[in-house]
Amino acid sequence: IFSDVKMGPTIEVFALTRRYNEDTCPEKVNLGVGAYRTDEGKPWVLPMVTQVERQMALDPTLNHEYLPVAGLPAFRAAACRLMLGSDNPAILENRVEGIQVQGGTGGIRLAIEFLKRNMDSKVAYVSNPTWGNHKTIASSAGLEVRQYRYWHPKELKVDFNGLVEDLKAAPEGAVIILHAVAHNPTGIDLTMSQWKEVADIMQKRKLFPLMDCAYQGFASGDLDADAEAVRYFVQRGFELFICQSFSKNFGLYNERIGNLCIVTKTPEVIPQIRSQMEIICRTIWSNPSHHGARIVATILDNPASYQEWKQQVMTMATRIKEMRKMMCSKLRQKKTPGSWNHILEQIGMFSFTGLSADQVRIMVEKYHIYMLSNGRISMAGLTTKNVDYVVDAIHDAIEA
Ligand code: PLP
């Protein structure tokens, strides 16, 4: 009965990791996956996370009972405070709710599913380019997916005029997926004055902001600074959803821990929204898992642990920034064609190198340096040991 099932397209980033793992070349480098690596090229379990896991293992009050459908209350509240700031009027006025979800991905899916079922949303806009899964999540939920211009490939900067034009042409009620911070894949965010203009258009055109916040802390190293765009939209009075992921800033990639933060104008509508969200959760994962939520809540709720964790986020952000500087200066020293300013100007985990698909092919086939075909590299995969090798390869790929 399965013989007519067609092979689906490969998921590029996972296929790259598989090829990297199978590759026996000693110089191989994985710049594909968006996961933090130490300067030894190893995954990093944050020391604060290890400490909490040890305490959890010894805590006789913990058990494996089901969580509520909407997740662990302490986690949901702490996550919303981290996103909006604990003194945010929306929180003080009880106009904020959190739903525990399966990573950032689960939050986006839940948000879109809710909007389709309850708000009659029909169209979602994603930036061009964007994280590959945005389009597939929105179309799987039955929305028509359109793009708004974001990146100017020739000028290697944001195509803000294009973005404004496309948002102005969007139909009323359209869902606009915005990268709250550290845009993936370009590494370029809007300035605050650009965010203001976007907010003006969205308010006027009655567009719904769905903020995707997968990298809080990774852009500047400062969690509050990285929440600026989200907090600005809340301050402007938008009703909006924010999909928070704790995969990156807690290094809890495989715990699938996220929060869908809901901000409304009045507290009265929160129970209805929560109940509809719960119906969707119930039919997909029923109720969420406990481990990641407990870790995040324990750290965020304890001032000393919170300070230590903040330092550890800063450690990750700082190492990535240093790799940017190092890579840029080595490319310049080698006089590799291009200014390479964009590498320094970009922020967060990724750089959009500007390498063409053919140049990327040389990187992968000849040098065993795995990266996305659109030229995106994860800066976290660079180390002081492999940066020369990567720079030489880029030079060769460009000169080829
Ligand atoms: N949104 C963006 C922009 C991402 O880059 C990612 C992960 O790479 C996600 C969402 C999904 O995060 P998670 O792994 O927590 O589902």
Question: How many C-alpha atoms does 75 have within 13 Å on its Cβ side?
Answer: 24
Active site residue 248: yes
Q: Is the CB of 130 under 6 A from ligand 1?
A: no
Residue nearest to atom 11 of ligand 1 (CA): 104
Centroid of ligand 1 to alpha carbon of 104 (angstroms) = 5
pTM: 0.96
* Tally of helices (H runs) and strands (E runs) in the chain: 15, 13
Instruction: Write down the catalytic residue from 28, 116, 131, 135.
Output: 131
Active site residue 39: no
Please answer whether residues 318 and 324 qualify as being in contact, where contact means their C-beta atoms are separated by less than 8 angstroms: no
Q: Does residue 252 sit in helix, strand or coil?
A: coil
CA distance 176 to 7: 31
For each of the chain's 400 residues, which pLDDT tens digit applies? 999 999 999 999 999 999 999 999 999 999 999 999 999 999 999 999 999 999 999 999 999 999 999 999 999 999 999 999 999 999 999 999 999 999 999 999 999 999 999 999 999 999 999 999 999 999 999 999 999 999 998 888 899 999 999 999 999 999 999 999 999 999 999 999 999 999 999 999 999 999 999 999 999 999 999 999 999 999 999 999 999 999 999 999 999 999 999 999 999 999 999 999 999 999 999 999 999 999 999 999 999 999 999 999 999 999 999 999 999 999 999 999 988 999 999 999 999 999 999 999 999 999 999 999 999 999 999 999 999 999 999 999 999 8
The pair of structure tokens assigned to 151 is 């990146």
Q: To the nearest 10°, the Cα dihedral for 365, 369, 156, 130?
A: 100
**Ligand 1: which atom is nearest the Cα of residue 212?**
1
* CA 50 vs CA 146, 295, 296: distances in Å: 42, 9, 12
Nearest Cα to Cα of residue 313 among 219, 232, 196, 183: 219
Farthest-apart Cα atoms in the chain, separation? 63
Nearest Cα to Cα of residue 367 among 339, 392, 346, 341: 392
Centroid of ligand 1 to alpha carbon of 14 (angstroms) = 13
Q: Is the CB of 247 under 6 A from ligand 1?
A: yes
Question: How many C-alpha atoms does 40 have within 13 Å on its Cβ side?
Answer: 3
H/E element holding 158?
strand 157-158
